[in-house]
Structure formats: C-alpha cells, structure tokens
Amino acid sequence: MPSSPNHHVDRPVLLSVILWAVVVSTVPGCRMLTDQTGEKLDRIGLRWQTPGTGRNAIQLEFVTIRRPQGDPLLGKSLWDRLDTIGRRPASMRAALADRGLRVGQVGATPPPPLEELLGLSAPEHDTDSPTGQPPRRDLNGWRVFLRDGGDTEVVLHDEPFATEMLAIDGDDTTKKLHNVRYLLKIRVRQLREGWVRLECLPEVHHGRRRLQPTATVAGWGLRTRQEIVPLYGLRFTVDLTEGEMAVVSSTGPGSTESIGHRFFTTADGRTQLLVARLAGVPKSQRLHPRMADDDSN
C-alpha cells in the first residue's frame, strides 16, 4: 500500500520553504522591495539589481548566522560534516587558511549542526509558533536573482567600523583605514544545465562615500562608492547544483588578528557564518516535442 501523502515530507522542499521563511521573516513587513529598504541600500552604496524573471534567473538565498565565540555548533562538529575541498585547488585552500578564512559546501540536506544553526530543528523563527517565542535575532536572510555573469555584494556588518588597522598588501605592514566595511563580491557563472559556480572575492571598502562612475547592465551611471581594496589573493570558488549550500566563516578563535576574523566577527564579538544556497537555476527553454514539430512545419 502506498504511503499516505499526509505523512510524506520531501525534505529538500521543506528546507527550501523554511529557509524562505527565514528570508521573509527577517525583512521588515515581509516585503523585499520597499522604499525603506532602498534607502538603506543607497546609504551603503548598493542598489537592487534588475532581477529578470524566475525562469531565466539564477536564484541565491543568503542567511547570516551570528553566534557567541566558541559556540560548539561552529566548531569541529560542523566542519567535519562539510566538504571543505570541493573543486578548489590546494593552493587556494592554503591561501584561505593562512588568512583565517574557511569555506565548505554541503548537499540539499544539511547536517544536524547546520540544521540547528539555521533554526530548522525548532520553530524558533516562526512568529506564529504556539510557544509564542520571538523570531530568531541571530539570523538574517535575503534572496537575490541574477543573470548568468551577474554579481551581488554581501555586506557582512550592520555598520562600518570607524577605524581598523589592517595588513592587506600581502605583507606585515599595517595601514589605518577609516569607515571600514567588509564585503564578499559574488559573481555567478552557469557551468552547464543545473550547475552554477560562485566566484567569491573578499573586498575591503573604506573612506568617504562619494559618487563615482560605475558600469552597470544598462550602461554607465553614478553610484555611491568608497575606496575599494579587492583581496585577489583570497578569491575562491564554489560549484553548486540546485539546493546545495556554501558555508563561509573564519577559522576560529585562534586567528583573532587574521583578515578572516575581521570579516566574520561582529562589533559585539560574535562569530558570523554565511550560508549561500542555490535556490534556483534557469529553466530549459526546450519545447514540448509536439510544439517543436508544429514549429518546424
């Protein structure tokens, strides 16, 4: 006898629904494109990109998780269950580890520690929960739609740091930078049907914001920007198929002076974890065989 549909749960579909609930619940008023949101993005020099349609766009879901330093969920129990090699060459992995950055990936079914970090093992983020618990305050989520070759910027802190002493030129010489923000610039490339590569470039933005000519999809335009220091030596890639996730963070409390620690430690001393999920890929435009035959006549 076939199982009752009332008792069958498709786990990847459930994960997608819950992650989307996190994305929506962390945006005020549950509306992604609001005037208030646009004003906030404008203040930090970002703009919503033209999304296209769901059918021809690559869809990424991002969730940032902030936990106390030393939280066991961020340690060995998590990283031993992630693929920390992927298709990244040994030289790339060594460069990341040397600067305090850690990258992993996992399939559509996350391991228990990641489930708990995302709030999937308890309805803590559900405002309609019968327990009456408030939504999770250590989670923040959003979704972006990008064309093949498009990019987005992930801002890792709520506010810029007033002053930072950083060694960013590949040596031990430190520089004093003001009004500092740490970002990941992520470009998407479709490798083949169903597969997407995330090309990730850490950047340090600093200094006074001013209008600068910037190339956009529609041509050249003015955009509020700061001075940008791209960390090309720390570029990394992650290849994902639909439903899979990339996880990025720092290597741990022993690397407090590393650039990875600066990127993934909040102003109040918590450790931050970034999860990027490939939520959708462009759908094939193949016609139904009968329609194709009709068009050929």
The pLDDT value given to residue 225:
81
Q: Is the predicted pLDDT of residue 5 greater than 90, yes or no? A: no
Does residue 114 form part of some domain? Answer: yes
Instruction: Determine the structural domain holding residue 208 and report its residue range.
Output: 10-284
Could you give the CA distance from residue 148 to residue 131 in angstroms, rounded to a whole number? Answer: 43
Does residue 102 form part of some domain? Answer: yes
The tally of domains found in the chain comes to 1
Does residue 293 form part of some domain? Answer: no
**CA angle, 30 then 32 then 34, to 5°:** 100
Does residue 4 form part of some domain? Answer: no
For 66, residues 6+ apart whose C-beta sits below 8 A from its C-beta are: 138, 266, 270, 271, 272, 273
Does residue 141 form part of some domain? Answer: yes
Q: What is the DSSP letter of 265?
A: B
Q: Please state the rounded mean pLDDT for residues 119-131.
A: 52
Does residue 54 form part of some domain? Answer: yes
pLDDT classification of 22: cutoffs 50, 70, 90: low
Say which residue, 159 or 291, is predicted with more confidence.
159
- Condensed to tens digits (0 to 9), the pLDDT of residues 66-80 reads 999 989 999 999 999
With contact defined as beta carbons under 8 Å apart, do 41 and 209 qualify? no
Does residue 1 form part of some domain? Answer: no
Does residue 296 form part of some domain? Answer: no
